[in-house]
Amino acid sequence: MARDTTDDQPIEKIDELVSYIAAGCKPGEAWRIGTEHEKFPFYVDGNRPVPYEGERGIKALLEGMRRTLGWDPIEDAGHIIGLVEPTGQGAISLEPGGQFELSGAALETLHQTCREGNAHLAQLREMAEPLGIRFLGLGGSPKWRLSETPKMPKSRYDIMTAYMPKVGAHGLDMMYRTCTIQVNLDFSSEADMRRKMQVSSRLQPLSTALFANSPFTDGGLNGFQSWRGEIWRDTDNQRSGQLPFVFSSDFGFADYVEWALDVPMYFVIREGRYHDCTHVTFRQFMKGALRKELPSGMPTMGDWANHLSTLFPDVRLKRFLEMRGADGGPWRRICALPAFWVGLLYDSEALDAAEELTKGWSFEEVIAMRDAVPVEALSASFRNHELRETAREVLAIARLGLKNRARFNREGFDETGFLNPLDEVVARGTTSAQEMVNAFNTRWGGSIEPVFLEHAY
d(CA 88, CA 362): 40
- So what's the pLDDT on residue 8? 86
Could you tell me which residues come within 8 angstroms of residue 367 by beta carbon, excluding any fewer than 6 positions away? Answer: 242
Backbone φ and ψ for 99, nearest 5 degrees, come out as: -55, 130
Half-sphere exposure at residue 309, Cβ-oriented, CA atoms within 13 angstroms: 16
The closest alpha carbon to 187, from 198, 174, 176, 171, belongs to 198
1 has pLDDT over 80 = no
**Across 57-117, where does the E strand assignment appear?**
72-76, 79-84, 91-94, 100-103
- What is the number of other CB atoms lying within 10 angstroms of the CB of residue 429? 11
The DSSP line for 303-325 is: HHHHHHTT-EESEEESSSEEEEE
Q: What is the pLDDT of residues 97-135, one digit of tens each?
A: 999 999 999 999 999 999 999 999 999 999 999 999 999
d(CA 226, CA 247): 25
Backbone φ and ψ for 453, nearest 5 degrees, come out as: -90, -45
4 has pLDDT over 90 = no
d(CA 81, CA 94): 6
From the number of C-beta atoms within 10 Å of its C-beta (0-12, 13-18, 19+), residue 406 rates as exposed
187 close to 345: Cβ distance less than 8 angstroms: no
d(CA 156, CA 404): 42
Q: Angle at the Cα of 403 (from 397 to 408), degrees rounded to 5? A: 150
Q: What is the pLDDT of residues 144-194, one digit of tens each?
A: 999 999 999 999 999 999 999 999 999 999 999 999 999 999 999 999 999
Helix (H, G, I), strand (E, B) or coil at 450: coil
Backbone φ and ψ for 352, nearest 5 degrees, come out as: -60, -45
Q: What is the pTM of this model?
A: 0.97
d(CA 413, CA 406): 9
- So what's the pLDDT on residue 88? 82
